Amino acid sequence: MDRKIRLGMVGGGPDAFIGAVHRKAAALDGHFDLVCGAFSRSYEKSKETGEALHLDSERVYESYDQMFEEELKRPENERMDAVSIVTPNHVHFDPAKKALENGFHVIIDKPITFSLDEAKELEELTKSTGRVLALTHTYTGYPMIKEAKHRIAAGQIGDLRKIYVEYPQGWLASSLENEGNKQASWRTDPEKSGAGGAIGDIGTHAANLAEYVSGLEITHLCADVRTTVEGRLLDDDSSALLKFGEKVSGVLMATQVATGEENDLRIRLYGSIGGFEWTHTDPNTLLFKPHEEPAQILRAGTGYLTDLAAKNTRLPAGHPEGYLEAFANIYVEFATAVNDHFNGSYKSADDYDFPDAAEGVRGMAFVQNMLKSSGSDKKWTEFKV
């Protein structure tokens, strides 16, 4: 396809955080043109956002239902091709379902849906419609994460033995949800966030990252899920022992009450002859720790990296890339898949390097399994989807 992909958006109004991130990520490499949106439940706020983005006022809609209906009336050479869904969790499923049913491709913020049943239905709908659905598990987009994934698959650290993944935040150490903080309010509300608080918001990121880099799936877990702030309705602190089959074990920690921490996602993986370590606070660095040799510092943008990392890097070494670029890497791969769909060469999401509906299902299953394990007196809970 010799043009930009025409993108619509659901959510991302004036008070939103993640909507602006999605828009910047989509714009970064020039593959998308934002042409329409239903940015808020409030039509006034939706119009305010449309004006700020210099959109045609006729394509700023009161609801996503109206957007899908009106966009389908437009000629094929004008209507949107795909939609970005950036709403709170409880408003993921319905617009995604309707978009797929109406022939639009979908990119959606994580977690994929409000519940596991909804996630499974979206996965089946993606298969039956043949449309592309991508999920923005952002941290898989970092080039040095992709470098670690490639080197582990190539056997550089030998047989994998141990995985540690931790995601400490401190922003919910107090009851911000009772102080008018919109981001805290919906994330701690089970009617909007779903069954998981911290485990849904950041625990799913940690679990997804561990599976992505290792190439393995969690098979069993032993979890402790807690609520530490008095009166809070959802969990804000969790940890778990993990099994990835018979030979690989792990430890996961996801908490939003680690006072003083910002967003320090970290993963360490150890094999029989070496290990890798990556942290979100220094994302352009990957530490390689060979057995009985000095640790090596691998840096983004350098000539010695694999093609997978190079493909996801835009700047030379020493020029920092970060969160927006990692987000954009998922949008680029989504654009590739959408273009292939238009050209008739798209087969399935398995052929592309972005999180898809299947990973979304595993994310929702992670929440359910963590809660089940935490409420059980058994040491291990089998991870079931």
What pLDDT, in 10s, does the model give residues 242-251?
A: 999 999 999 9
Alpha helices by DSSP H, listed for 188-262, are 190-193, 198, 204-214
**CA 155, 159, 160 angle in degrees (round to 5)?**
100
**Position 210 confidence tier, pLDDT thresholds 50, 70, 90:** very high
pTM for the structure as a whole: 0.96
Residue 208 confidence (pLDDT) above 90 = yes
**pLDDT value at 16 more than 90:** no
What mean pLDDT do residues 332-341 have?
98
Cβ neighbours, 10 Å, residue 152: 21
Two structure tokens written together for 193: 């966030």
- Asked if the model's pLDDT at residue 1 lies above 90, the reply is no
The rounded distance, in Å, linking the Cα atoms of 349 and 8 is: 21
- Tokens representing residue 322 in the block: 């970060």
For residue 105, give both structure tokens. Answer: 């491709």
Residue-wise pLDDT for 158-186, tens only, equals 999 999 999 999 999 999 999 999 999 99
Give the pLDDT mean for 82-99. Answer: 98
Give CA angle at 159 (252, 293), nearest 5°. Answer: 95
Strands (E), the chain: 5-10, 32-38, 82-85, 105-109, 133-136, 160-168, 220-226, 237-244, 248-255, 266-271, 274-279, 285-290, 296-299, 381-382
CB-CB neighbours of 307 under 10 Å: 9
pLDDT at 232: 97
Average pLDDT, the chain: 97
Q: How far apart are CA 42 and CA 50, in angstroms?
A: 12
User: What per-residue confidence (pLDDT) applies to 15?
Assistant: 82
Residue 189's Cβ-count burial label (10 Å; 0-12, 13-18, 19+) is middle
- Give residue 107's pLDDT: 98
Q: Which residues contact 240 (CB under 8 A, 6 or more apart)?
A: 221, 222, 223, 224, 251, 252, 253, 370, 373
Which domains, ranges and CATH numbers included, belong to the chain?
5-139+327-355 (3.40.50.720), 143-315+364-374 (3.30.360.10)
Provide the pLDDT for residue 120: 98
Q: Which residues contact 301 (CB under 8 A, 6 or more apart)?
A: 284, 313, 315, 316, 317, 318, 319, 321
Given CA atoms 201, 203, 204, 206 in this order, what sign does their dihedral have? positive
**90 pLDDT higher than 80:** yes
**375 pLDDT band (50/70/90 cuts)?**
very high
The pLDDT score that the predictor gives to residue 258 is 98
Position 349 scores a pLDDT of 93
**pLDDT at res. 2:** 80
User: Nearest Cα to 243, choosing from 262, 263, 216, 225?
Assistant: 216
Averaged pLDDT, 47-60: 97
Closest CA relative to residue 99, chosen from 54, 36, 24, 22 = 36
Note the pLDDT tens digit of each residue in 122-169: 999 999 999 999 999 999 999 999 999 999 999 999 999 999 999 999
Task: Read off the pLDDT of each residue in 62-75 and give the average, rounded to a whole number.
Answer: 98
Q: What is the pLDDT of residues 312-324, one digit of tens each?
A: 999 999 999 999 9
